[in-house]
C-alpha cells in the first residue's frame, strides 16, 4: 500500500535565516536572509552595510575604500550618529556609537518571515561624560528595512541631552539625475554656506554641487526618484524632527581617504534624526525612540 506524500504548505511564509560570519578584516557580522531580501549587519557600530530586495539593486551605498577597523567608522551603509552630530571639540565627529562594538542582545525570526535583531551600545569611557543611559538599536529585515534607536535616561536626577541620526547612504544610478521630494517649505542650515539659514523653495531638490544641509522641524516622509535605476526610494520616520541631505561632490570626495574620487556620483545621504536645534532632552527615566522605515518601489 502506497502512502500519500504530504505536499509543502506554500501558504506559510518561509522563516528568515541568520548566519554569524566573519566580515571584512574578520569583524563579526550577521547575514540575514528573508523571503524578500538580504542584509548584512556588523556589530561594529550596529552598522547595516547591506540591504537588497530580490531582483532589485542594493538599497545602500558602500564605498570601496571603507575602513573596517576598531575605532574607525565604516564609510557607507547606515552609521548610527549618537550622542552628538558633527564635530565636538576634542571628541571627534558624530559621537562614539558608530565606532563601538555593540552587544547582540536578541535575534528573533518572526512568524511572517521577517527577522528582528536587537543590539545594545556597551558601557564605554566616553559615556561617562553623560548621565547614565542605555541605547538599543532594533533592526528589522523584510521587504523593507526598519531601524529603531531607543535611548533611556537611567539617571534619577539629571537630564540627558543628545543628538541622534541614522546617517543613511543610498545607492543611486547617478546623483545628477535624481530628485528628492518632501522637504519643500522647511528651513535649513547650509553648512556649505557657513551654516546660513534659509528656506527650501523647491518641490524637487536636485544635486549639481556639494550639498550639506540640516533641514529642521521636518517630520514628513522623503522620497528619492532615481530614473537611472528606475525606482522610488521612500524614507518614513517617527521621533525625528531633522533631515540631513549630503553629497560631498568632487573636491571633498578627493579629500576623503576612505572614499573613492568618483563615488560621489553613486550616492546621496538622506539622514533622519534630531540634530542642532532639534536635539533631544530626556528627563530622568524617560525614553526616546527614533525609527525609520526604508523601502523601494519600481517607477
CA atoms within 13 A on the CB side of 219: 7
Cis peptide before 83 (omega within 30 of 0): yes
For the record, the C-alpha cell of 237 comes out as 520616520
Catalytic site includes residue 44: no
Query: How close are the terminal C-alpha atoms of the chain, in Å?
Result: 55
Q: Is 192 helix (H, G, I), strand (E, B) or coil?
A: helix
Catalytic site includes residue 271: yes
One of 50, 167, 223, 263 is an active-site residue; which one?
Answer: 167
Nearest-angstrom CA–CA distance, 179 and 240: 22
Residues in the chain: 299
Kindly give, in sequence order, each residue whose CB lies less than 8 Å from that of residue 261, ignoring residues fewer than 6 positions away. 250, 253, 254
Residue 243: name the closest of 137, 170, 156 by CA.
170
CA distances for 260 relative to 40, 141, 255, angstroms: 22, 29, 9
Sign of CA dihedral 151, 275, 59, 179: positive
List the catalytic residues. Answer: 167, 271
Amino acid at each position: 500500500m502506497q502512502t500519500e506524500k504530504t505536499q509543502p504548505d506554500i501558504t506559510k511564509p518561509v522563516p528568515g535565516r541568520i548566519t554569524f560570519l566573519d566580515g571584512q578584516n574578520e569583524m563579526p557580522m550577521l547575514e540575514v536572509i528573508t523571503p524578500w531580501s538580504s542584509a548584512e549587519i556588523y556589530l561594529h557600530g550596529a552598522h547595516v552595510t547591506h540591504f537588497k530586495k530580490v531582483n532589485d539593486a542594493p538599497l545602500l551605498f558602500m564605498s570601496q575604500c571603507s575602513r573596517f577597523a576598531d575605532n574607525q567608522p565604516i564609510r557607507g551603509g547606515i552609521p548610527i550618529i549618537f550622542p552628538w552630530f558633527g564635530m565636538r571639540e576634542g571628541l571627534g565627529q558624530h559621537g562614539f556609537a558608530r565606532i563601538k562594538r555593540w552587544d547582540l542582545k536578541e535575534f528573533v525570526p518572526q512568524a511572517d518571515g521577517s527577522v528582528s535583531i536587537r543590539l545594545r551600545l556597551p558601557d564605554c569611557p566616553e559615556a561617562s561624560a553623560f548621565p547614565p543611559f542605555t541605547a538599543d538599536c532594533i533592526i528589522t529585515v523584510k521587504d523593507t528595512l526598519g531601524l529603531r534607536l531607543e535611548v533611556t535616561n537611567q539617571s534619577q536626577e539629571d537630564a540627558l541631552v543628545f543628538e541622534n541620526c541614522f546617517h543613511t547612504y543610498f545607492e543611486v544610478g547617478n546623483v545628477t539625475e535624481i530628485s528628492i521630494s518632501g522637504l519643500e517649505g522647511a528651513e535649513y542650515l547650509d553648512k556649505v554656506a557657513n551654516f546660513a539659514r534659509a528656506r527650501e523653495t523647491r518641490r524637487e531638490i536636485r544635486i549639481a554641487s556639494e550639498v550639506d544641509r540640516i533641514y529642521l522641524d521636518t517630520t514628513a516622509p522623503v522620497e528619492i526618484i532615481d530614473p537611472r535605476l528606475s525606482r522610488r526610494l521612500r524614507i518614513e520616520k517617527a521621533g525625528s524632527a531633522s533631515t540631513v541631505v549630503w553629497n560631498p561632490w568632487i573636491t571633498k570626495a578627493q579629500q576623503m581617504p576612505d572614499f573613492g574620487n568618483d563615488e560621489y556620483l553613486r550616492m546621496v545621504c538622506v539622514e533622519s534624526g534630531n540634530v542642532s536645534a532639534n536635539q533631544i532632552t530626556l528627563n530622568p527615566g524617560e525614553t526616546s525612540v527614533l525609527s525609520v522605515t526604508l523601502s523601494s518601489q519600481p517607477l
